[in-house]
Structure 1
Amino acid sequence: MLLHPLPLKYQNIYKTTKRGALCMFKKVMLCTDLSPPSELLLQTVETLKQVGLEEVLLVHTIYTAHNPVLEAELLERRTIRLQSQRETLMNKGLVVHTEMAYGIPAPTLTDVAERHEVDAIIVGSHGKGIFKKAALGSVSTEVLHMTSRPILLIRVELNKEDRQSQSFEELFSAPLFCTDFSDTSNVAFTYLEKVVTELKCPVTLLHVQDRSISETYYLQRLEDINRAIIDEMTPLKDKLMSLGAQDVKIEVPFGSPKELILEKVRSSKYSVVLMGSQGKGFIEELLLGSVSYSVVRKSLIPVLMIPSLKS
């Protein structure tokens, strides 16, 4: 049972998830710019299949070139490449649909996701084409602001030999779950429950005590506050252990959320960051300010953001 009761707008989703009727990752939209780095995104389906993925919508966005000959040549090349990626995913036992969407990438991708009612969006945050813009805070960040769907942001790049330098086949092997105890964090926790139920993976639960909030007060009562927060997080640990998690660690550091999250990411101990994208404290800052820019742009591991649900 979650620590804080969910608001009415969340309760139906939570209950259907607990019954198993709702698969959180049954149908995802995978955004591709058809470049070599985008091939890395295809690897994520191996893990997502283990948590219920059945169907993939493979989407590529393009602008019109206003040149009939050039448009025809570009469309032919891109169609061939898109079909190649489709076959790769189909060979993994998935139902795969493709769509060429014309328009400005972020709003176009958001509209396609809503129209097809996907359970999550997968988008790259580094590379060529639209991913280069995403690395600078454009496409991926804009989609994060616009969408009502969970979004998995993955930094994709090639090494100097033009080969794939990363692997995301074990996406949920060691999740880092960041919580601020908000309703949105509770919703994000249901996704973690699903992952642990299926994969029995070890988990780290993280709550950052933001030193910018009345630092003197915190320092005077830091030990008491740490104890209270750990007590608050213990039921979450117990729940995950009951679902079969290999191990669950609780960490309550004191300091700068941005710096501490990136420090955790750089430690190479974790495979994905999972958190709510709106809430209170540092998670609200994550969506709106410097923490968002830093984590999404600098994280070498995927970041799965679960947005707040609209009324």
Structure 2
Amino acid sequence: MFERLIVATDLSPASYAVVSCLAGLRAYGAEQCLLLQCLSYRDATSVALSYHSEPLEEMLNEQKDILQRQGFVVEERIVAGSAKREITRIAQKEDYDLIVVGAQGHSLLEEKILGGVAYGVMNRSTKPVLVVPVERKPGEENSCKTVARCNFVDHVLFATDFSQMADNAFSCVEQLVAAGAKKVTLVHVQDKTLIEPHLRDRLEEFIARDQERLAILKQALVKAGTSEIDIKVCYGTPYLEITRLVREQEAHLVVMGTQGRGFVGETFLGSVSHNVVRHSIAPVLLIPSLS
């Protein structure tokens, strides 16, 4: 299902952490990988004028070797331009199945491939985006690690608001299960800001209804190939409840829908998906809306 993927790199320690943890994607059919570095026009001009591109090429080759040892067929490429634009343009034009980017810490504000560019790719992409959380190793300035174990298969957590956008993402979860995902947790969060104070007396009714909806999704996944499925209906702030469950349930991959091409206001799978990416200790797979 994700046969061809783009892995965005800036050759930083964080990007080395990302390329080192992608072997688990092989279970979902990943075979071909484009290792893509985007230089700003100023940086590209500087490299051209200095005639010192060898260190860049050496580091790209190092990351290529890391990916090849995980079983990928790897092409490396350096392009000039806005990273978020070039990544999404190439993914669309060359019909890649998945974009992989990293995100450092809880902030996506820094304009690096593992910062603001990740945010930009999430906003612009019409292709699925896998965001891998990365953090610096304590006491090691130039060394990073992925925040969680990246096996992608053992436990998938799917968050839904039952919208068409979420239904589209659920189709991806069905494919993950058919490809071998072992356990799935289905989650819906009753947003307390929409319930309190006027609908608080109907909370039990809403929870019962949503448990029935999740049960229908569960049956679809049983047919797709897995019997280990949990259902969770929570009450609170959506992104906080989702990231809490990721930690407590030890999920290895979070799947959510997104609007694509710019998120819309405060919709559950708009701003919430951003906040989940910012705070999740597990990689987050964002599935853009088909519309």
Same fold (TM over 0.5): yes
| 2:76 paired residue among 98, 109, 113 | 98
How far apart are residue 268 of structure 1 and its match? Answer: 5.8
The answer on 1:276 being equivalent to 2:276 is: no
State how 1:2-13 maps to structure 2 within 5 Å. Answer: none
Instruction: Classify the secondary structure of the residue corresponding to 1:304.
Output: strand
How far apart are residue 223 of structure 1 and its match? Answer: 1.6
| 2:235 paired residue among 254, 263, 266 | 254
Contact preservation (8 Å) 1:187, 1:276: yes
**CA distance, structure 1, for counterparts of residue 6 and residue 113 of structure 2:** 19
Instruction: Classify the secondary structure of the residue corresponding to 1:208.
Output: strand
Aligned to 1:5: none
RMSD of aligned Cα (Å): 2.7
**CA distance, structure 2, for counterparts of residue 110 and residue 269 of structure 1:** 31
The answer on 1:194 being equivalent to 2:172 is: no
| 2:248 paired residue among 267, 288, 295 | 267
**CA distance, structure 1, for counterparts of residue 109 and residue 26 of structure 2:** 24
**CA distance, structure 1, for counterparts of residue 133 and residue 79 of structure 2:** 22
State how 1:65-104 maps to structure 2 within 5 Å. Answer: 65=43, 66-67=45-46, 71-73=50-52, 75-104=53-82
Structure 2's unaligned 5+ residue stretches are none
String of CA shifts for 1:104-146, please: whole Å, max 9, x gaps: 221121112122211110001118xx99535996211111111
**CA distance, structure 1, for counterparts of residue 205 and residue 121 of structure 2:** 40
Aligned to 2:13: 36
Instruction: Classify the secondary structure of the residue corresponding to 1:160.
Output: coil
Aligned to 2:188: 207
Contact preservation (8 Å) 2:101, 2:131: yes
Contact preservation (8 Å) 1:125, 1:132: no
Q: What is the percent sequence identity of the aligned residues?
A: 31
Aligned to 2:94: 116
| 2:213 paired residue among 212, 217, 232 | 232
Instruction: Classify the secondary structure of the residue corresponding to 1:300.
Output: coil
**CA distance, structure 1, for counterparts of residue 19 and residue 37 of structure 2:** 14
Contact preservation (8 Å) 1:277, 1:283: no
Contact preservation (8 Å) 1:179, 1:185: yes
Contact preservation (8 Å) 1:125, 1:131: no
Judged with a 3 Å threshold, the aligned counterparts in structure 2 of structure 1 residues 223 and 82 are, in CA distance, closer, same or farther, namely same
**CA distance, structure 2, for counterparts of residue 270 and residue 259 of structure 1:** 15
Contact preservation (8 Å) 2:102, 2:114: no
**CA distance, structure 1, for counterparts of residue 103 and residue 233 of structure 2:** 28
What is the aligned length? 282
Aligned to 1:152: 130
**CA distance, structure 2, for counterparts of residue 157 and residue 265 of structure 1:** 17
Contact preservation (8 Å) 1:106, 1:142: yes
TM (norm. structure 2) is 0.86
The answer on 1:142 being equivalent to 2:125 is: no
**CA distance, structure 2, for counterparts of residue 42 and residue 131 of structure 1:** 22
Aligned to 2:111: 133
How far apart are residue 100 of structure 1 and its match? Answer: 0.3
TM (norm. structure 1) is 0.81
Judged with a 3 Å threshold, the aligned counterparts in structure 2 of structure 1 residues 190 and 43 are, in CA distance, closer, same or farther, namely farther
Instruction: Classify the secondary structure of the residue corresponding to 1:258.
Output: helix
